[in-house]
Amino acid sequence: MNTDRQRRMWLVLGGATAALLLGIATTALLATTGAFRSPHPAIWRAPSAARCTAPPLPGQVVQVTLADMGHPSGPGPGWSGMRMMRLIAHPTTVTAGTVSLRAVNAGYLTHEVMVLPLSTAQAPGQRPTGPDRRIDETGSLGEASRSCGAGAGDGIAPETTGWITLTLRPGRYELVCNIPGHYLAGMYTELDVTGR
């Protein structure tokens, strides 16, 4: 083996050993300073909605999950098309009569769920928004926007639940979050109500 080759081999081994020792030392330092015991939730893990639960609700119950990626809902390039938020209903079809919505905020931001009739010519997510980045609430049948309570309030806080009970006739309805910017970010879905 020539000396240049030996020198390169020792340099590679020395570099690998130094990198390994640096990694071990960094891990030990972080472990002793408590960096691995952060009280903040990991960004990839949604909080559980465990602070409160809804009481037994009358009629058919639709579970509505309100979710976001934890980003502020301010205007910005491409914001309206990014769909960083979701409003998910299960089931999406119920029969006419008493229907309760149980809205669980599994995100990091305050949300709400409002029920609006949807005409046959409308598609979910197509309502115009105003300068305040909200849709027109005219015709709303009600909303769940109270943390740990029924009906309207100041919004459903993260890790809490809100609910509302309505009498719905056959037709199409849009469930929306009308907090500024949330509708544009994807917080809407369709609820279909069929005849008995």
Structure tokens given for 196: 């008995």
Which pTM does this prediction carry? Answer: 0.71
190 burial (CB, 10 Å; 0-12 / 13-18 / 19+) is middle
pLDDT value at residue 32: 60
pLDDT value at residue 69: 82
Closest among 107, 122, 121 to 179, alpha carbons compared: 107
- The DSSP symbol for 71 reads -
Other C-beta atoms within 10 Å of 36: how many? 9
CATH architecture for segment(s) 60-194? Sandwich (2.60)
Domain boundaries, the chain: 3-37, 60-194
In the predicted model, residues of the chain with pLDDT beneath 70 are 1, 25-26, 28-50, 70-83
Cα atoms in the 13 Å half-sphere on the side-chain side of 142: 14
